[in-house]
Structure 1
Amino acid sequence: MFTTVALASVAAHAGPFVGGFGWLFFLIPLFWIALFVILFATVGRRWRRNAWAARGWNQPARRAESTLAERFAQGDIDEVEYRARLEVLRANAGYPQA
């Protein structure tokens, strides 16, 4: 009988970290924090990717226009050639012209 009372008294004073569900005190908040971080990272990445694609800067035609504009700015081509090539690029691009 004495050992049962002694063990009950030790278990009562040992606190929640010796046995039982005391470790859940730390794991449950860590689980929710990790879940929200993963959720926001995934949604944010998809949102940024869709926003980037909506601008059209990842399309080959936009990159070609950028290269053409750089060549015109450097003086490699004149204005007539620039406008002619730009017209060809925009005619074949498949997005509305500004």
Structure 2
Amino acid sequence: MMYGYGDWGVWGWILMGLMMLLFWGGLAAVVVLLLRGARSGWGGGGYYPPGPGHDDPERILGQRFARGEIDETEYRARLDALKRRP
């Protein structure tokens, strides 16, 4: 007889297997959460810089003017209208 181990039987093996699954599952969950947090910008003080879909109106207007979609008079008129709004 091996001292210190006792006779766990089938329930001991089931318990050890469940604990192993819980450990590795928890470790994988922590790694995934850390990777997702690093990608989404945790630690930035709550400020998230605007992404590609969240440009400010003046920048979009400047891009349209640079691409030639609008002429200079329309650009200046729209820029003045943007600056007048509250």
User: Per the shorter chain, which TM-score range?
Assistant: 0.3 to 0.5
Of Structure 1 and Structure 2, the greater helix share is in 1
Bigger relative contact order, structure 1 or 2 (CA pairs below 8 A, ≥6 apart): 2
TM-score when normalising by structure 1: 0.44
Structure-2-length-normalised TM-score: 0.47
